[in-house]
Structure 1
Amino acid sequence: MRFRRTSLLAVVALAATVAMVGPPAEADGEGQRRLPSPESEVNVTGEPFTGTAPDGTVQGLIDAHSHMFMQDGIGGAAVCGKVFSEAGVADALEDCPSHGIAGETALLENLTRSGSPLGFHDTTGWPSFKDWPAYDSLTHQQMYYRWVERSWRAGQRVMVVNLTSNKALCAINPGTHQSCDEMTAVRRQARDAYDTQAFIDAQYGGAGRGWYRIVTDPGQAREVIEDGKLAVVLGVETSEPFGCSQKLRLAMCTRANIDAGLDELKSLGVSSMFLCHKFDNALCGVRYDEGTTGLLINAGQFLTTGTFWTPKACDPDQPHDNNPRLVDRPAELDWLPQPPIYPSGTVCNPYGLSSLGEYALRGLIKRGMMVEVDHMSAKAAGRALDILEETDYPGVLATHSWMDERYLDRLYALGGFSTIYGHSTDQFLAEYARTAPVRDRYGAGIGFGFDMNGFGGTPGPAKTHVTYPFRSILGDAVVDRQVTGQRIWDYNTDGVAHYGMIPDYLEDLRLTGGQDVIDDIIRGPETYLRTWAGATAAAH
């Protein structure tokens, strides 16, 4: 999960204030199903591809970083609408009650969309969807299950769902009605994932028959993909895993907490995790956000931990962290806690992996779980890679463009896997080209970290002109404009308004960047499964 600039304004501004239509369908018969009515359309025709490539590898698209169940994160009121509802789409895709009649009290929505606490939007969901979901609306559900189905039918074969929350934002978000404990949110979202699987299974005739399959090892994942279904992997991304926060640099957890927490995550089916996220915690220091965003997160760190970031000047030719120094402090933020004056130029977070962090990392290795190094400080990521190299452990991931790219060679040499954030087409292609030399040395495929529902934003309208209908990435399906209720989404004007628009984004990438980009994307799931299999084999 990452935060766009204006969304962080909401987080810290509020934190400072506080510091002071029927059941699931039954199958009609073998291969047949009856959906709840009414329902969102998918608008993809053709049978999903099955089997493997001629060389025996699996193919498709991998999104290695999503937040499908943010409906139950951050206190239950930060993302409006659910992934599914037993009562149907009209019930699932409702606005938050805390948004008011016309969006006048939708503080987070207004701040993240326009930068102002004042604003309005049409709060009607089904069937009109006049103002949401949209690529620039961060507080409305973008991962309704039928939209995910559209992406699967058009070629997606792996989706990593990171269970997440933010304790500080939960505490101050209007409408919060759930526990703010981050591990409680993780448990709730894990249950959501299994409930979604059961809901989809019921439409296909019973347990195990739906297209949405939660997998807990690479062998299962490979079988699911070969069967033409979507392999769903559970991960965790929080700032206080197992309660491992820090207060005035004092750890708030123990080794016993870490062992119990990792064992619980394994029992929930979690296969990968971040040891730290936005704030320095008891396990590791973080890679900073820059500019106004950095100012805001730094204030949030101070309000929740009692400490500001302490960046130090460091060698620009070595891996380093983003600089949180703000040259022009916006007047409207003068009331925030004032951080120290930081050096200009290249800086590093002096906090790396703590002794508890190293213990937690070795605990992940022992359990065959994959380690996410995005969000770690350069020092923490470097030490993590040291340990992974010492133990010859390939299970390392960087899934949404937040690791210093100088570490890519070490990551791939271990057998790890990296993806690119779901940027605009031009941004994606620029990062793709910049990182291609090291990726090509190891024959690695690529994927995305769209971070959907994660407050980072999704791509806007097409850079080229996407012509409908078009063929999917492997040419096995025909994709037309997506329709939900009375709303027809067109990528040329709407961008990636919701998860179902990912196939349209891929077509824009193909038209702009060429077939070679798509070919590398198609190889992404195989590279990911090899990383996972290596971790499983090397667990000790």
Structure 2
Amino acid sequence: MAPTYRGRRRLAVLSLLLLVLAAALGPTPSSAAGSAWWEPSARPEPDSRIGVTGEPFTGTNAVGEVRGFVDAHNHVLSNEAFGGRLICGKAFSRQGIADALKDCPEHYPDGSLAVFDFITNGGDGRHDPVGWPTFRDWPAHDSLTHQQNYYAWIERAWRGGQRVLVNDLVTNGVICSVYFFKDRGCDEMTSIRLQARLTYEMQAYVDAMYGGPGRGWFRIVTDSAQAREVIEQGRLAVVLGVETSEPFGCKQILGIPQCDRADIDAGLDELYALGVRSMFLCHKFDNALCGVRFDEGALGTAINVGQFLSTGTFWRTEKCSGPQHDNPIGLASASGAERLLPKGVALPSYDADARCNVRGLTGLGEYAVRGMMRRGMMLEIDHMSVKATGRVLDVFESEAYPGVLSSHSWMDLNWTGRVYGLGGFVAQYMHGSKDFVAEAERTEALRDAHGAGYGYGTDMNGVGGWPAPRGADAPDPVTYPFRSADGGSVLDRQTTGERTWDLNTDGAAHYGLVPDWIEDIRRVGGQDVVDDLFRGAESYLDTWGATERHRQG
């Protein structure tokens, strides 16, 4: 007899827990023979160069605080999402870099069928599909369909001072269903489970280079104390999050929920067992839990089409009751997305004075929020409508619950003070250095008042777009080599295969250029902004630890 859904879920969780147990029972970290602890003894050949010399910092500062940067929002394994063919290339492969960094098969020979590429980036989608070893056209700051999170590029970010990485397991069933190319089914929770399992496999892959279980720099953590220990060792603490549109199958069709409280409890229990400690309750589409904060312009129009295909209803707006508001939907061209609508169905128009989603936090949504509180999980409020966010903050304030995150600039900025007041954590999207510095300076007084550090959310592999090059002739460009923020390492230009990247002329093309982007921030905005970012690890763990203590209390 085939196992039931619940039986398959238990088997998936059991398999994952066995992987975790195997890693936990491995030897404690120590230097591999002939190598410093931070250098692999068996890196695959050929592979990407790191371009960093010097020992990663360890321990704590004079007052016992950990140090380091926080990427609060990344999608390391989203190439496994959306049907498996939207993001091309892999974060790692046991067959090596030539297998990992290659384009989707339909992109050969010239990108003519790179449909999502030309929908998101304009033009005709044509590009050189060859990745390793030439990388003529990708990865690039404006290519949303190619792998940016190769493990060695993440390794360079770690060597440059990053100490926390939140890997948001992500997918979207509707995007998967309407996209032309896929090699698997579109069930969201199936994809989430796969990405969780592969994160543990990536940890084992890195461990193998360093001599066995527990020896690598990529360490998945499931509580704040474990994260502190990992960071004090000088390694990268990896936290699992979830960002998906219909968690636990909680979609709504014509306003009718397709899940119940039992589904929510089972779903939260499963995610917690997988190691997930933060999550979004809604993303892109209104669901049975909450209304969303709209996307704008052409993308917003396309997502509104997806909203209809998923739920049977378009977004509905109303006048806002306070200074907060959702994004304007706009009526820009959606690159043909309207053609996916059934015959006779047209996109609605929207009143410019009605900027708020009518849907807030539903009764089931509030049940899920309180379920997360019982489990000591952190809630991501980005992508929630302002109506839903306001209710969440009311609930958290009534319980003095600190577990609230804004990880990539998607909440209304008027909520920032309330988030800090709860003890929550805020990170800014990976904007260009000038825009990033301007926003960091705008909120600096709030951080100072609450003693908070700052974070960034790269959203790599998240089809959002990344900082363009400022140009080699821009004022005060990044000069290579440069020193890491702690002063203990030296970073030169990053090379993979035959391609060498320079932030000044290539922009933030992949994750290995995160340290270069931080150096650009220092040059544009000064040391104060970088100092706030370097306090990010401590601040993030303060929020996480306080959340755990609230649950225990």
Q: State the TM-score, normalizing by the size of structure 2.
A: 0.90
| 1:383 match | 391
> In the aligned structure 2, how far is the partner of 1:268 from the partner of 1:57?
28
> In the aligned structure 2, how far is the partner of 1:48 from the partner of 1:330?
46
Say whether the 8 Å CA contact 1:458–1:497 is kept in structure 2: yes
> In the aligned structure 1, how far is the partner of 2:399 from the partner of 2:154?
37
Say whether the 8 Å CA contact 1:74–1:166 is kept in structure 2: yes
> In the aligned structure 2, how far is the partner of 1:333 from the partner of 1:74?
17
Query: How big is the shift at 1:257?
Result: 0.5
More displaced stretch, 384-393 vs 152-161: 384-393
> In the aligned structure 2, how far is the partner of 1:486 from the partner of 1:290?
38
Query: How big is the shift at 1:111?
Result: 2.4
| 1:318 match | 323
Structure 2 matches for 1:341-356, cutoff 5 A?
A: 341-345=349-353, 347-356=355-364
> In the aligned structure 2, how far is the partner of 1:119 from the partner of 1:149?
30
Kindly indicate whether residue 496 of structure 2 is the aligned counterpart of residue 484 of structure 1.
yes
Kindly indicate whether residue 222 of structure 2 is the aligned counterpart of residue 216 of structure 1.
yes
Say whether the 8 Å CA contact 2:246–2:287 is kept in structure 1: yes
Kindly indicate whether residue 168 of structure 2 is the aligned counterpart of residue 168 of structure 1.
no
Say whether the 8 Å CA contact 2:425–2:543 is kept in structure 1: yes
Say whether the 8 Å CA contact 1:27–1:34 is kept in structure 2: no
**Which of 458, 476, 497 matches 2:509?**
497
- Provide closer, same or farther for how the CA distance between residues 406 and 259 of structure 1 changes in structure 2, counting only shifts above 3 A: same
Structure 2 matches for 1:280-295, cutoff 5 A?
A: 280-295=286-301
Letter in 2 for 1:352: G
> In the aligned structure 1, how far is the partner of 2:139 from the partner of 2:298?
26
SS of corresponding position for 2:443? helix
Kindly indicate whether residue 405 of structure 2 is the aligned counterpart of residue 397 of structure 1.
yes
Say whether the 8 Å CA contact 2:74–2:457 is kept in structure 1: yes
Query: How big is the shift at 1:175?
Result: 2.6
Letter in 2 for 1:370: M
| 2:46 match | 38
Query: How big is the shift at 1:346?
Result: 5.2
Deviations 1:431-454 (A, max 9, x none): 112222222211111010110000
Letter in 2 for 1:367: R
Say whether the 8 Å CA contact 1:322–1:346 is kept in structure 2: no
Query: How big is the shift at 1:479?
Result: 0.4
Letter in 1 for 2:246: E
Query: How big is the shift at 1:173?
Result: 2.1
More displaced stretch, 171-180 vs 200-209: 171-180
More displaced stretch, 477-486 vs 336-345: 336-345
Letter in 1 for 2:171: S
Letter in 2 for 1:58: V
Query: How big is the shift at 1:331?
Result: 9.4
Deviations 1:131-179 (A, max 9, x none): 1111111111000000000000010000000001011111122330112
> In the aligned structure 2, how far is the partner of 1:218 from the partner of 1:508?
30
More displaced stretch, 426-435 vs 91-100: 426-435
Say whether the 8 Å CA contact 2:301–2:334 is kept in structure 1: no
Deviations 1:71-109 (A, max 9, x none): 211111011111111111111111111212221111112
Kindly indicate whether residue 531 of structure 2 is the aligned counterpart of residue 519 of structure 1.
yes
Kindly indicate whether residue 445 of structure 2 is the aligned counterpart of residue 445 of structure 1.
no
| 2:11 match | none
Deviations 1:209-260 (A, max 9, x none): 1000000000000000000000000000000000000100110101111000
Say whether the 8 Å CA contact 1:68–1:83 is kept in structure 2: yes
| 2:61 match | 53
| 2:21 match | none
SS of corresponding position for 1:344? coil
Unaligned runs of 5+ in 1: 1-25
Deviations 1:448-500 (A, max 9, x none): 01100000011111354111000011111100000001101111110111000
SS of corresponding position for 2:83? helix
Query: How big is the shift at 1:69?
Result: 0.3
Say whether the 8 Å CA contact 1:78–1:139 is kept in structure 2: yes
> In the aligned structure 1, how far is the partner of 2:438 from the partner of 2:172?
31
Structure 2 matches for 1:185-334, cutoff 5 A?
A: 185-315=191-321, 317-326=322-331
Unaligned runs of 5+ in 2: 1-30
| 1:153 match | 159
Letter in 2 for 1:495: G
> In the aligned structure 2, how far is the partner of 1:298 from the partner of 1:209?
46
Query: How big is the shift at 1:321?
Result: 1.2
- Provide closer, same or farther for how the CA distance between residues 329 and 162 of structure 1 changes in structure 2, counting only shifts above 3 A: closer
> In the aligned structure 2, how far is the partner of 1:34 from the partner of 1:331?
47
Letter in 2 for 1:319: Q
Deviations 1:371-417 (A, max 9, x none): 00111010100100111111111010010001111111111111100
SS of corresponding position for 2:292? coil
> In the aligned structure 1, how far is the partner of 2:418 from the partner of 2:299?
29
More displaced stretch, 175-184 vs 146-155: 175-184
> In the aligned structure 2, how far is the partner of 1:85 from the partner of 1:488?
22
> In the aligned structure 1, how far is the partner of 2:499 from the partner of 2:330?
43
More displaced stretch, 208-217 vs 173-182: 173-182
Say whether the 8 Å CA contact 2:305–2:314 is kept in structure 1: yes
| 1:415 match | 423
Query: How big is the shift at 1:340?
Result: 2.7
> In the aligned structure 2, how far is the partner of 1:269 from the partner of 1:140?
27
Kindly indicate whether residue 100 of structure 2 is the aligned counterpart of residue 128 of structure 1.
no
| 2:24 match | none
> In the aligned structure 1, how far is the partner of 2:160 from the partner of 2:125?
36
**Which of 535, 544, 549 matches 1:537?**
549
Say whether the 8 Å CA contact 2:169–2:192 is kept in structure 1: yes
SS of corresponding position for 1:419? strand
Say whether the 8 Å CA contact 1:212–1:230 is kept in structure 2: yes
Q: RMSD across aligned C-alpha pairs, in angstroms?
A: 1.7
> In the aligned structure 2, how far is the partner of 1:213 from the partner of 1:515?
29
More displaced stretch, 443-452 vs 294-303: 294-303
Letter in 2 for 1:132: W
> In the aligned structure 2, how far is the partner of 1:390 from the partner of 1:480?
50
> In the aligned structure 1, how far is the partner of 2:119 from the partner of 2:166?
28
| 1:474 match | 486
Query: How big is the shift at 1:334?
Result: 6.8
SS of corresponding position for 1:539? helix
Deviations 1:1-20 (A, max 9, x none): xxxxxxxxxxxxxxxxxxxx
Letter in 2 for 1:274: F
SS of corresponding position for 1:74? coil
Letter in 1 for 2:502: D
> In the aligned structure 1, how far is the partner of 2:176 from the partner of 2:527?
43
Say whether the 8 Å CA contact 2:494–2:500 is kept in structure 1: yes
